[in-house]
Amino acid sequence: MKLLVFRAFWGMTGSAAEQIERIAAAGYDGVEGAPPEDMPRAEFLRRLDEHKLALILGAAVDSRDQLEPTLKRLADYGPLKIDLHSGRDSFSREQGRAFFETALRLEESIGIPVGHETHRGRVFFSPWDTAFYLREFPSLKIVADYSHWVNVCERLPDDQAEALVLANQRAIHVHGRVGYEEGPQVPDPAAPEYAPQLAWHEKHWQQIRQFQLERGADVFTFTPEFGPPPYLHTLPHTGAPVADLWNICLWGATRARQQFA
């Protein structure tokens, strides 16, 4: 199984063309994010093809009626996978069921794997809520961003072992950001004081990879999705970032190749 490491557009500056050039030069295998607003679809796809960069597209979908236009728009780009920030954490079970029934029907029609991200503020904001829907819908898939769950639970949620195994089985993509008990992003994942949090996340990323390997997946996709301020800590009064975002993501990419290649 081949490892593909993606770079998120999130936190980058400059034109789409400049961002693609920089991502390619850094040795990433693909890009992830929303379609660029400053570049037509054909040109965007052409530039990715020139640099042999794969594509994962993402979007926020707050309500069920947004699903169809969003997924059809993203599917027109022919991405490898689609990542959705799905619904709201305030959804009732009935609203959640209706949302995912529609999402699964549309996913089948476009023929592209759709993962629903484990994210604060969304339906999959916690391990237990996610497990409920994964049991309800055997074909439902996730994008694993467990940094949010560590933050929501205010602990490394080993007491949610059953839910985590189920989530790991359904994960089709990993957002490799390291969270800690009081936030969704440690200041620097290489810092020794965050070694327990890094080890916890990597344990689950390894299990996701193993489940995919057992299913016969061709590729394991991973994005070291560390974000800019306010995700990235800043110094009081000045707002200066405490670390360099580009270098943190590169560290995450190198670490992934060491751990999962």
The rounded percent of the chain whose pLDDT value lies above 90 is 100
Span 2-260 CATH architecture: Alpha-Beta Barrel (3.20)
Dump pLDDT digits (tens) for 203-218: 999 999 999 999 999 9
Where along the chain do its domains lie? 2-260
pLDDT of residue 184: 97
Residue 189 has pLDDT above 90, yes or no: yes
pLDDT of residue 261: 80
pLDDT of residue 150: 98
Burial 227-249 (b: 16+ CB within 10 A, else e): beeebbeeeeeeeeeebebeebb
Residue 82 has pLDDT above 90, yes or no: yes
pLDDT of residue 41: 97
d(CA 175, CA 208): 12
Dump pLDDT digits (tens) for 97-155: 999 999 999 999 999 999 999 999 999 999 999 999 999 999 999 999 999 999 999 99
